[in-house]
Amino acid sequence: MHGNLARMFTMSLLLTLLFLGITAPVQAADPGVGDIADRIAPVGRVQLTGQPPLEVESEAAAQEAEAAEPMAAPRPARSDYPDIGVSSRAIVWVLAQLHLFFGALVLAVPLFVLIIELVGLFTGDERYDDMAHEFMKISLTGFSITAIFGGSLALALFMLYPDFMAYMMRVFGAQWLVYAGLFFFESFFLYTYYYGWNAFRYGNLKWVHLSLGLMLNASGLTIMVLANSWATFMMAPSGVNEVGAVVGNIWEVMKGPLWNPINLHRFIANIAFGGAVVGAYAAFKFLSSSDPEKRAHYDWMGYTSNFIAILAFLPLPFAGYWLMAEIYAYSQQMGITAMGGILAWLFILQAVLIGTILLAGNFYLWAGMSRTDGSERYKWLVKFIALILVVTFLIWITPHTLMLSASEIAQLGGTHHSILGPLGIMPAKNIAVNLMLIVTFLSFQLYRRSDKVATVRWAPVGNALMVAIYVVAIANIIFLGVYYGYFTNTVYKVGSSVAQVASTLVVIISGIIIDALMFKNAKTLPSHWGRIPDRAQYALFALPIAFTWLMGLMGYVRSSVKTHWHVYTVMKDNSPDNFIPTIAYAGNMITLVTVLFLLCLLFMFWVANLSETRQVKPVAAGESA
């Protein structure tokens, strides 16, 4: 605080001096002097009689420029943006998205690898340990790919958006050094964790190894939250005044209103995304192998990946809800731009993608029931689950807006439209989404139960309770949506969606608790890993594709709610790309990055498999004898 006051005081003093320096000679003398002063200024040493030396003035100007610079955010004109002939935004878009995809992957994999390793340690089942090691192996190249795209992104940003990056550098200052330094830690822990796997495998050394994994995750997560703070600063700047001058310390700059919601949302989404990606690897290996033992292994690996992806995916809407609520709280205008403006259309795509993910995840679980003989008990339920899923999915993706006539679409013309009131159709959609989550959890729960028989005496009571929770929760969600959504006012309508979400959470949490208690010492029926139809594996491909596309889409929405601002309300975007593109353009970009990601991923898996292959030594003609 004192520092700021002092700085402000010095600033004012300097500015006053400068102003005096400039105005005094001009005002005092006759009109011609200004011209003379201009003409002699380049020479510098000439001094008019009775005037202060001109050098003093220029020195003061230099000092002023230096002192003034750290104050406000720059206001670059369009000509200040380098033009390289291609859309700068498109370049940064592709690089940033690829960097994020791989970053998400390599942050998520070590996290669930560590958990799987722990599971292996506690169950004593070495298969877990080997699978964890394999997950690590296939994502190892991903770290380098992340770094390569990160470096290219930084380079592109500095080249194409120099003023903006200069400002960000100024605001975050030494934090960049911390960020760069963390990569040394991460690399150290990554390589010791991966290459030390078999060296530190048993006994106390295993704990050393687990600690290395923990530190790897700690440094990775720190890197993520630091990078998140840049994105959230751009959306909701904190620690700066209204013209962008830094007035707070680095902690105040980082800890904006959206930082923690984004941290949580990205953390959870990364796990779901990482699980889905390694699931595709397992599915590919499963399909391309005919050895039953290998098929069993990769079936199990695919199942585990899918389990991770879906489990992490279920709480994601709630994290998203929190993020959106914080956006509305920060700026209602920003929230409405996202949910009620042009970007609102993208949420229809989001619905399609999430529906694809849920359908694929459910389909895989149902197909996987063929692995166990005990699943016969629950098979009759599958068709009802499928029916509910399809109906709710259709409700969700059929917005009133698609029923527009051509002339109505033409009327939309401008930047805003009055027909798509997402609130008007939100109650129906909220019911649909919550029911989809609930029946997906039901699929999951049935699958988990399919190879077990409860032996506890209170099992019938537990089942009755579980059935009651499902039925009442579904009824409650429909009641809340219909009654408050259509028969009361807006405030209650919005408020009731929170109660709906709470009902869904009650189902999920109570389901996990009841099953954990009920099947604690349950009789296990035999499972036949590898006994799953080939077509089920395609669900494991649909999952990462939909996840990747969804990440691309929602990342685009997150970035676009800033509209024509680099840093919302503080630094305007005056570049030629400061408009929000059409949905088809955005869709093409997202497809482009998804396909590029797919190709890089193929490379990563191919490299991982190279280490397994060994070329047979060519037998020279002369040696054969």
Partner 1 sequence: MEKQMEDEMGKQMEEKRKIGIFTTLLSVVIAFAIVLVLFYGLNHLIMGMQGLPLNMDLTPAG
Partner 2 sequence: MKILFKTLSFSIGLTLVFSLLTYLLPQIKGEAPVEKQVDLGSLTMDDFVALGEDLFSNKGTCTLCHKPPPLGRAPDIQGEDMVALSIERLADERYRGEAKDAAGYILESMLDPSKYVVATWGKKGSNDSESPMPVIDKAPIELSSMEMDAITAYLQAKDGNEVTVALPTAEAAAEVAAAPAGGSAAAPAPAATADEAMAKYACLTCHAMDSKDTLVGPGLVDVGERLTPEEIRESILDPNAVLVEGFPPAMPADFGTKMTVNELQMIVNFLAEKKG
Euclidean distance between CA atoms 327 and 557, whole angstroms = 12
Picking from 9, 43, 162, 143, the residue whose alpha carbon sits closest to that of residue 92 is: 162
Quick one: 80 or 130, whose CB is closer to partner 2? 80
Binding partner selected for residue 464 from partner 1, partner 2, none, CB under the kind-specific 5 to 8 Å limit: partner 1
- Ordered alpha helix ranges (H), 161-173: 162-172
For position 506 contacting partner 1 by CB under 8 A, the verdict is: yes
Quick one: 259 or 345, whose CB is closer to partner 2? 345
**Is-contact 597 263, C-beta < 8 A?**
no
Count of chain residues binding partner 2 (CB under 8 A): 88
For position 518 contacting partner 1 by CB under 8 A, the verdict is: no
Length of the chain measured in residues: 625
For position 469 contacting partner 1 by CB under 8 A, the verdict is: yes
- Residue from the set 340, 398, 459, 607 that interacts with partner 2 by CB under 8 A: 340
Candidate ranges 68-76, 197-205, 377-385, 472-480; the one touching partner 1 (CB under 8 A): 472-480
Quick one: 190 or 553, whose CB is closer to partner 2? 553
Min dist CB 438 to partner 1, Å, is: 13
Quick one: 10 or 47, whose CB is closer to partner 2? 10
Min dist CB 78 to partner 2, Å, is: 8
- Footprint on residues 485-544 left by partner 2 (CB under 8 A): 490-491, 538, 541-542
Euclidean distance between CA atoms 444 and 462, whole angstroms = 17
Quick one: 424 or 462, whose CB is closer to partner 1? 462
**Is-contact 406 376, C-beta < 8 A?**
no
For position 65 contacting partner 1 by CB under 8 A, the verdict is: no
Contact letters (x/-) for partner 2, 552-581, by CB under 8 A?
A: -----------xxx--xxx-xxx---xxxx
Min dist CB 310 to partner 2, Å, is: 18
Cβ-in-10-Å burial (0-12, 13-18, 19+) of 322 comes to middle
For position 257 contacting partner 2 by CB under 8 A, the verdict is: no
- Residue from the set 319, 327, 353, 480 that interacts with partner 2 by CB under 8 A: 353
For position 424 contacting partner 2 by CB under 8 A, the verdict is: yes
Binding partner selected for residue 347 from partner 2, partner 1, none, CB under the kind-specific 5 to 8 Å limit: none
Binding partner selected for residue 469 from partner 1, partner 2, none, CB under the kind-specific 5 to 8 Å limit: partner 1
- Footprint on residues 57-86 left by partner 2 (CB under 8 A): 68, 71-72, 74-78, 80
Min dist CB 187 to partner 1, Å, is: 46
For position 464 contacting partner 1 by CB under 8 A, the verdict is: yes
For position 488 contacting partner 1 by CB under 8 A, the verdict is: yes
CA angle, corner 572, sides to 569 and 573, nearest 5? 135
Binding partner selected for residue 610 from partner 2, partner 1, none, CB under the kind-specific 5 to 8 Å limit: none
- Residue from the set 71, 214, 352, 499 that interacts with partner 1 by CB under 8 A: 499
**Is-contact 522 454, C-beta < 8 A?**
yes
- Residue from the set 8, 62, 180, 471 that interacts with partner 1 by CB under 8 A: 471
Euclidean distance between CA atoms 483 and 481, whole angstroms = 6
- Residue from the set 254, 349, 359, 557 that interacts with partner 2 by CB under 8 A: 349
Measure CA of the first residue to CA of the last residue in the chain; give whole Å. 88
Q: DSSP string of 321-342?
A: HHHHHHHHHH-HHHHHHHHTSG
Backbone angles phi, psi at 238, to 5 degrees: -135, 160
For position 467 contacting partner 1 by CB under 8 A, the verdict is: yes
- Which is it for strands 523-524 and 452-453: parallel, antiparallel or unpaired? antiparallel
Euclidean distance between CA atoms 374 and 361, whole angstroms = 20
Candidate ranges 39-47, 198-206, 207-215, 326-334; the one touching partner 2 (CB under 8 A): 326-334
- Which is it for strands 565-567 and 452-453: parallel, antiparallel or unpaired? unpaired
**Is-contact 423 490, C-beta < 8 A?**
yes
What radius of gyration do the chain's Cα atoms show? 30
Min dist CB 481 to partner 1, Å, is: 12
For position 461 contacting partner 1 by CB under 8 A, the verdict is: yes
Quick one: 498 or 610, whose CB is closer to partner 1? 498
3-state class (DSSP) for residue 116: helix
**Is-contact 154 161, C-beta < 8 A?**
no
Euclidean distance between CA atoms 424 and 419, whole angstroms = 9
Euclidean distance between CA atoms 268 and 312, whole angstroms = 6
For position 423 contacting partner 1 by CB under 8 A, the verdict is: no
Euclidean distance between CA atoms 451 and 447, whole angstroms = 8
Cα→Cα distances 242→2, 3, 171, 335, Å? 20, 19, 14, 20
- Residue from the set 13, 498, 517, 610 that interacts with partner 1 by CB under 8 A: 498
Euclidean distance between CA atoms 331 and 235, whole angstroms = 10
Structure tokens belonging to residue 472: 């009442």
Q: Which residue ranges make up the site for partner 1 (CB under 8 A)?
A: 460-461, 464-465, 467-469, 471-473, 476, 480, 483-484, 488-489, 491-492, 495-496, 498-499, 502-503, 506
